[in-house]
Amino acid sequence: MYRLLIVDDEPIIVEGLSELFLQSEYPLEVYQAFDGMEAFAIARKLRIDILLTDIEMPEMNGIELQKEVLRLWPRCKSIFLTGYNEFDYIQSSIRGGAIDYVLKTEGDDSIISSVEKAIRVIAEEVTYEGLIESARSSLKLAIPALRKEYLTGLLEGEASSFAVRKERFAQFEVPLDPDLPVVMAVGRIDRWREDATGGDKVLFAYSINNIFEEFFAHEFELTHFRGDHERLIWLLQPKAESGYRQAIAGKPHLHAGSASDPNPEAALHAYLLGMLESVQTACSHYLKLTCSFVVSSEPFEWDTLAPKYERLSQLFGRGLGLGSQMLLSDDRAKSSGDEEARSKVKRIRMLDQYLMQKERAKFEQLFDGISEAVGESATLEAGLPLEVFYELAAIFIPHLNRFEALGAAGGQAIPGKLFSIREHRSWREASDFFRELANLLFERMDGGNEQETSEVVEQIHRYVERNIDGDLTLNRLAEHVYLTPFYLSRLYKQKTGHNISDYITRTRVDRAKRLLGESALKIHEVGMRIGYDSPSYFTRLFKKATLLTPQEYRDSLK
């Protein structure tokens, strides 16, 4: 939709042109102003795409108005409408960027042609190809951030098929093979230097990655990003020519002229630990930083990235006696069996976002995955069930308060079941309870949206009926209900199936019918009572709606 602002100090011209374009098939949102100052006030509130304005107006003429509108909206296209065929006017308007100049005596066809031209020029400026090219340029700059966001999502357990992974790796320039297993190393800065500031910490993190690449880039393709708790994360795959390629590809490969290693995974593991020891020593010597590293003991599939990261992260908490400058692999830690469950549960905070954004399907899919990951346990008062229960309670409480659902009738049992896990006999019962709360919230959201929309429509109807002879422009109606004109227009049509202008016209015509039948007012007085100062315009509009002129309609009632 394009916004067209029609400006003239003759109401009959403004109203006539407004009606002309409102009834047309053009993608236009039409606004009216009866002098330059009023038009400028509208332009300060709304983006204007096409300005159709008279030149000769009091206080602020059309050329002055054009300059002010262009200062606000540089892409606006101006069309000047005037009764004067003078070269000076034409020259001034063209210098100011006008795309056309129409004499009032030329009639509607010339004006329509000029507006069509303006629409065409705007469409050509914002072409599909231009937008895509601009998006590509922006995407190029954003690739590092998008790559980190995507890989972080994989760490948190987001599902990703091979086809999607392959597409995303290419799109975000991930220098790894989406079909081959991968090795993970995770680093932690145990103790910052006393002289390190906030900005220095970011610089040190990049410096550690530079050291890491210095030792590993010869044999490995790798990508680096930062995870939660300031973890430093590297994903690695041996290069095609590397002797360690067979450890992930499962194919015999000769390395440096020697026979293929009978146990390539063990050789790869020993190499990784040896190199990480060198990285650790370099960080201590050159950066004066104490760092710990953990690494996966063997390559693993991309689908198990989240539980693998969870397992490696847990090693930092165990410490193996030292607590700092650790160098461990996950073969030192026996699997607790719940890494995959914990990796799914890590995404629990996304439930809050889905509730806020009213994304019911996404909420239910993630909730079911988390509930399934928790499973049934011998006790609810320890382990994963306890953590998840109170995480869910913390998420739900603000939303229940927002909809005043904690004290709602029929919901008196909510507080006890929400605040204490002991109120539930099993995890299944607790999970069903939270699912019922989610259903309650989504129903409140849907009902609230519908009720609020209905109230806005009712407000508009009441305002139109009380101010039938006043300012009923879309801009004024939008101000009345505290919405933007464009949003109000869409909201009203979505709710009623009709345009606001159709409702206003119908209401005015119905009021005119009553006045014509029940009063002795003259025709032009009836027109003024419903907001039309121009008798000819009122007659034309009434006849279009009823197929009779106002006088013919009055006569038909006798």
Which of 282, 297, 288, 154 shows the shortest CA–CA distance to 213?
282
Which of 58, 13, 67 shows the shortest CA–CA distance to 40?
67
Q: What is the DSSP letter of 25?
A: S
d(C-alpha 279, C-alpha 185), whole Å:
12
Q: Where do we find the tokens 């009216």?
A: 32
pLDDT at residue 252, as a whole number: 44
* 375-426 tens-digit pLDDT: 877 677 777 888 889 889 999 988 888 777 665 544 455 778 888 888 888 8
Residue type, 307: P
2-126 belongs to which homologous superfamily? Response regulator (3.40.50.2300)
Largest alpha-carbon pair distance within the chain?
Answer: 113
- In terms of DSSP bridges, do strands 2-7 and 50-54 run parallel, antiparallel, or are they unpaired? parallel
* 228-251 tens-digit pLDDT: 778 999 999 999 888 787 777 654
By the 10 Å C-beta count (0-12 exposed, 13-18 middle, 19+ buried), 453 is classed as middle
Length of the chain: 558
Q: Residue 294 in contact with residue 319, Cβ under 8 Å?
A: no
Cβ contacts of 307 within 8 Å, gap of 6 or more = 339, 340, 342, 343
d(C-alpha 474, C-alpha 22), whole Å:
12
d(C-alpha 354, C-alpha 443), whole Å:
14
Which of 291, 331, 300 shows the shortest CA–CA distance to 315?
331
pLDDT at residue 92, as a whole number: 56
Which of 140, 138, 149, 131 shows the shortest CA–CA distance to 171?
140
- In terms of DSSP bridges, do strands 77-82 and 50-54 run parallel, antiparallel, or are they unpaired? parallel
Which of 464, 460, 454 shows the shortest CA–CA distance to 494?
454
- In terms of DSSP bridges, do strands 2-7 and 28-33 run parallel, antiparallel, or are they unpaired? parallel
d(C-alpha 254, C-alpha 242), whole Å:
9
- The Cα-based distances of 217 to 156, 213, 224, 269, 270 in angstroms read 26, 5, 12, 16, 17
CATH topology of 142-336 equal to that of 467-556?
A: no
Q: What is the CATH number of domain 142-336?
A: 3.30.70
Instruction: Strands of 313-364 (E only): list them.
Output: 327-329
Residues of the chain with pLDDT under 70: 84-97, 126-131, 249-262, 318-323, 332-344, 378, 405-413, 448-449
- For residue 33, the cross-strand partners are 7
Please report the DSSP string for 202-228 in residue order: HHHHHHHHHHHHHHHTTTEEEEEEE-G
d(C-alpha 474, C-alpha 33), whole Å:
12
* Domain boundaries of the chain, sorted by first residue: 2-126, 142-336, 343-449, 467-556
pLDDT at residue 320, as a whole number: 53
3-state DSSP assignment of residue 162: helix
Q: Residue 242 in contact with residue 219, Cβ under 8 Å?
A: yes
Q: CA quadruple 386, 394, 341, 232: dihedral positive or negative?
A: negative
Q: Where do we find the tokens 């689908």?
A: 303
Q: What is the CATH number of domain 467-556?
A: 1.10.10.60
Q: CA quadruple 176, 178, 181, 186: dihedral positive or negative?
A: positive
d(C-alpha 268, C-alpha 232), whole Å:
21
- For residue 53, the cross-strand partners are 7, 80
Which of 150, 184, 153, 141 shows the shortest CA–CA distance to 170?
150
Tokens standing for 257? Answer: 């002229």
d(C-alpha 81, C-alpha 469), whole Å:
27
pTM score > 0.85 for this model?
Answer: no
